[in-house]
Structure formats: structure tokens, C-alpha cells
């Protein structure tokens, strides 16, 4: 599917789906990637994520 010249993407780590309104859904296939991304976000933006 192509939206605004963007092709949906999929591999073993995550998938990316583009929508007509310009939004994007990223689905992580490996939970450890979500943990790592949350760690990076928390370091740079400490107030963005709720405490665990």
C-alpha cells in the first residue's frame, strides 16, 4: 500500500503502516525494543513517561 509515496514496511523487528491522514503506526515485534526505546525517551524527556 502506498500513501503519499510511502510504502508500508515490515521486518522481524517492527512494522510501519502509513495512513491517508498522515499518521503512522509502528508495531514493535520484540518487547525488548520497547524497553530500550522507553529508556532512551526517559533519559531525554524524564517527564514524558509514567513511573513504573
Please write the tens of the pLDDT for every residue from 7-29.
899 999 999 999 988 899 999 99
Element holding 25 (H helix, E strand):
strand 24-28
Q: Tell me, yes or no, if the pTM score tops 0.75.
A: no
Q: What local confidence, expressed as pLDDT, does residue 51 receive?
A: 75
User: Please, are residues 16 and 25 in contact by the beta-carbon 8 Å criterion?
Assistant: yes
Check pLDDT > 60 for residue 2: no
CA dihedral angle for residue 25, residue 26, residue 31, residue 32, rounded to 10 degrees: -150
Instruction: Inform me whether the pLDDT recorded for 4 exceeds 70.
Output: no
Average pLDDT over the chain reads 87
Phi, psi of 26 (to 5 degrees): -110, 125
Q: What pLDDT shows up at residue 46? A: 87
Amino acid at each position: 500500500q502506498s500513501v503519499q509515496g510511502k510504502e508500508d514496511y515490515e521486518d522481524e523487528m517492527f512494522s510501519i503502516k502509513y495512513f491517508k491522514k498522515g499518521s503512522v503506526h509502528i508495531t514493535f515485534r520484540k518487547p525488548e525494543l520497547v524497553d530500550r526505546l522507553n529508556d532512551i525517551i526517559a533519559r531525554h524527556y524524564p517527564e514524558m513517561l509514567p513511573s513504573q
